[in-house]
């Protein structure tokens, strides 16, 4: 299976490892090895450059992972961030009730209450998948990790953040003021988030500790149907999978201008759809057939999301189209909620106009994007395995190889490695045949191989081998940087 092949390379070569492995670990937790760390950082850097350059008033901030209870009263997480849980009477294993209903009864469980799910499980006598025992009534289980801050006696209940977004909402007022009170203002956070998933079965896709990259854009709701650059993007075709296509499974190619006219989606929202698609197709090089925006029904989306399309990629190892992120028009839900719960005024005053800004959220799961890159770009050609990663996110840009273990070749190769390392992440390898060294780099996605051979001594040129085509060309040492 493809997921096993990718996991095999990931473990064997150092992309990811099960966390706390020598103690048996816990499911839903993974560490990043040396290659994984490099690759994830590069994905994050590409993300940062792409989205923060959309507007000179979009910035990255950073916030703590631990936040007091009242934050999550204001955000609604304490009340609503729950999953339906059922427990086996006999073996006490716990399961997601909605997943069981979906799998056993082949129906959608989205939007069902705990009582309705209990009823369905009883009626259809769904047994415990582990031991066949009877399942108990469905309870709503809050997915936040609770902890207490301070010594016992005066300790305060706090939570690990279940999403990075809250940090941006809490810092909004100070950021707005220090950035001279302009809208729109964008606050991005890239960092960890935590969800106590009941049974994270999908390997690297659903994690309990994970990485998010989110951008919260605060704007004046009266301007939602305008964007200064809309003219520039109006002819871009977007790959849309609206609700009415659910049964056919077809993806529509719709021009941005038609999306505005025929679907009634506001221009500010469409502009960001275009930029998201650009990130996936132009920066990450995904074939466009694997990409789509999926419209969510009212039952599927959070009640405060007025417009919600998920970003999906076809990921073979995960069994089809999978959510990589989403574009959410959250209205004033977040700032109004925190204003009410904290008593702090979060409305702004722009030239006499008072308002609570609305939020457009761009939200992405970093780890699942990482996994899907490995999935989509992995191929087994029989005599070699390769991952054709875009060069921006490949862990190493190039391998540097002296053809043989001879001092004169090694000296030149080391010199090239040292000089170019200021600009690129490189891997130096002098062991084994040159063919094997190329294969090792193909398998971890390195786009180029730089080989120092005997001709280098004579004319100061090296060969550069390109990963996907395996074509080689000779270039001057001083011009390597232009060719990788």
Task: Please report, as ranges, the residues that interact with Zn ion according to CB under 5 A.
Answer: 88, 90-91, 93, 128, 130-131, 133
Give the integer Cα–Cα distance in Å for 37 and 15.
7
Half-sphere exposure of 201 (CA within 13 A, CB side): 6
**Pair 427, 446: CB distance under 8 Å:** yes
Nearby residues of 261 by Cβ (< 8 Å), 6 or more positions away:
none
CB nearer to Zn ion: pick between 131 and 147:
131
Give the integer Cα–Cα distance in Å for 206 and 272.
26
CB of 394 to Zn ion, least distance (A): 45
CB nearer to Zn ion: pick between 134 and 414:
134
**Closest C-alpha to 302, from 320, 276, 324, 329:** 329
CB of 133 to Zn ion, least distance (A): 4
Extract the tokens encoding 477: 């040492």
Give the integer Cα–Cα distance in Å for 392 and 374.
14
CB of 127 to Zn ion, least distance (A): 8
CB of 199 to Zn ion, least distance (A): 13
Q: What is the CA radius of gyration of the chain?
A: 26
CB nearer to Zn ion: pick between 3 and 86:
86
CB of 129 to Zn ion, least distance (A): 8
Give the integer Cα–Cα distance in Å for 233 and 112.
40
CB of 130 to Zn ion, least distance (A): 5
Extract the tokens encoding 355: 């308002």
**Pair 16, 31: CB distance under 8 Å:** yes
CB nearer to Zn ion: pick between 99 and 255:
99
CB nearer to Zn ion: pick between 132 and 432:
132
Extract the tokens encoding 443: 């398998």
CB of 450 to Zn ion, least distance (A): 57
Extract the tokens encoding 83: 């999953």
CB nearer to Zn ion: pick between 133 and 191:
133
CB nearer to Zn ion: pick between 37 and 93:
93
CB nearer to Zn ion: pick between 89 and 408:
89
């Amino acid at each position: 299976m493809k997921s096993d092949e990718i996991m095999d390379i990931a473990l064997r070569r150092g992309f990811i490892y099960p966390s706390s492995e020598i103690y048996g670990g816990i499911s839903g937790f993974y560490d990043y090895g040396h290659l994984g760390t490099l690759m994830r950082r590069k994905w994050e850097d590409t993300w940062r450059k792409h989205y923060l350059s959309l507007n000179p008033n979009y910035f990255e901030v950073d916030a703590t992972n631990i936040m007091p209870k009242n934050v999550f009263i204001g955000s609604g997480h304490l009340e609503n961030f729950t999953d339906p849980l059922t427990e086996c009477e006999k073996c006490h294993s716990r399961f997601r009730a909605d997943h069981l209903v979906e799998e056993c009864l082949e129906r959608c469980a989205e939007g069902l209450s705990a009582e309705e799910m209990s009823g369905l499980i009883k009626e259809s006598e769904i047994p415990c998948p582990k031991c066949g025992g009877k399942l108990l009534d469905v309870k709503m289980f809050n997915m936040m990790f609770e902890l207490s801050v301070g010594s016992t006696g005066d300790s305060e209940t706090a939570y690990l953040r279940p999403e990075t977004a809250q940090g941006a909402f809490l810092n909004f007022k100070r950021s707005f003021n220090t950035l001279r009170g302009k809208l729109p203002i964008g606050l991005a956070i890239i960092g960890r988030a935590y969800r106590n998933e009941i049974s994270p079965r999908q390997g690297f896709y659903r994690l309990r500790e994970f990485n998010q990259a989110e951008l919260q854009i605060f704007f004046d709701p009266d301007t939602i149907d305008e964007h200064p650059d809309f003219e520039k993007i109006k002819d871009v075709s977007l790959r849309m999978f609206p609700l009415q296509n659910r049964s056919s499974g077809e993806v529509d190619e719709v021009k941005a201008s038609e999306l505005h006219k025929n679907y009634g989606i506001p221009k500010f929202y469409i502009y960001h759809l275009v930029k998201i698609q650009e990130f996936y197709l132009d920066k990450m090089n995904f074939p466009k057939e694997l990409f789509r925006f999926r419209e969510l029904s009212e039952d599927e989306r959070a009640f405060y999301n007025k417009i919600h399309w998920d970003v999906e990629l076809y990921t073979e190892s995960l069994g089809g189209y999978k959510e990589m992120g989403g574009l959410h028009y959250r209205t004033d839900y977040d700032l109004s909620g925190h204003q009410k719960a904290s008593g702090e005024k979060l409305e702004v005053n722009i030239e006499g106009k008072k308002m609570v800004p609305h939020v457009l959220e761009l939200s992405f799961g970093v780890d699942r994007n990482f996994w899907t890159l490995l999935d989509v770009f992995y191929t087994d050609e029989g005599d070699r395995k390769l991952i054709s990663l875009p060069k921006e996110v490949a862990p190493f840009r190039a391998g540097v190889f002296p053809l043989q273990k001879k001092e004169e070749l090694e000296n030149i190769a080391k010199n090239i490695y040292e000089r170019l390392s200021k600009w690129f992440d490189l891997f130096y390898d002098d062991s084994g045949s040159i063919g094997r060294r190329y294969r090792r780099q193909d398998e971890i996605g390195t786009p180029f191989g730089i080989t120092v051979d005997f001709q280098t001594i004579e004319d100061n040129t090296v060969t550069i081998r390109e990963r996907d085509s395996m074509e080689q060309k000779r270039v001057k040492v001083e011009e390597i940087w232009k060719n990788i």
